[in-house]
Amino acid sequence: MKLAIYPGTFDPVTHGHLDILRRACRLFDEVVVAVAPNAAKAPLFSVEERLALLKPHVKTFANAKLVRLDGLTVDFAKKHGAIALIRGLRAVSDFEFEFQMAQMNRHLEGSVETIFLMPNQTFFYTSSQIVKQVCRVDSSRLSQFVPENVLQALRKKFSKK
């Protein structure tokens, strides 16, 4: 069985993330969506909230499951017998960071490959960070970028601020 890990912060999950997951599920027997804490990004949602927001969407894929990721991604991948890490590339600007990360992961664990997937062109300019910025000002325009449960959670978060 060919297992891949799709790691990320997913703060919040977007339609672009789900598009990458859809593509990965067509390529691998099983895809583990691994939600990382990533304190460096100062997430808006806790890991538990992000897992809850992702859960109904991951369940729609027969060969995907959802877990929390703690520690190094390559260690997690090796422990679970994964052969690949899935990373999304939206634009050339993503490539430099992702390339460096892939090379470090290859150095740390050579048996785990990094596979770059591009989302549908509709989502090339969508990121969790941009979604949060737009939501702070006008959440009425976000339904095309995030699932409904995520939109409601964003509205709730920003109504408290």
CA-CA distance, 137 to 41, in Å (whole number)? 21
17 catalytic residue (yes or no): yes
Active-site residue, from 2, 26, 41, 59:
41
41 catalytic residue (yes or no): yes
Q: What is the pLDDT of residue 85?
A: 98
Domain annotation covers residue 149: no
Domain annotation covers residue 99: yes
68 catalytic residue (yes or no): no
Q: List, in order, residues 6 or more apart from 7 with CB less than 8 Å away.
A: 34, 36, 69, 73, 76, 85, 86
The range of the structural domain enclosing residue 118 comes to: 3-124
How many domains would you assign to the chain? 1
Domain annotation covers residue 118: yes
Active-site residue, from 15, 50, 128, 132:
128
Mean pLDDT of successive 10-residue segments in the chain (161 residues)?
A: 96 96 98 92 94 98 97 94 94 81 90 93 85 89 92 90 53
Active-site residue, from 90, 106, 139, 157:
90
Active-site residue, from 15, 17, 50, 57:
17
90 catalytic residue (yes or no): yes
Domain annotation covers residue 67: yes
CATH (domain of 13): 3.40.50.620
Q: What is the pLDDT of residue 161?
A: 53
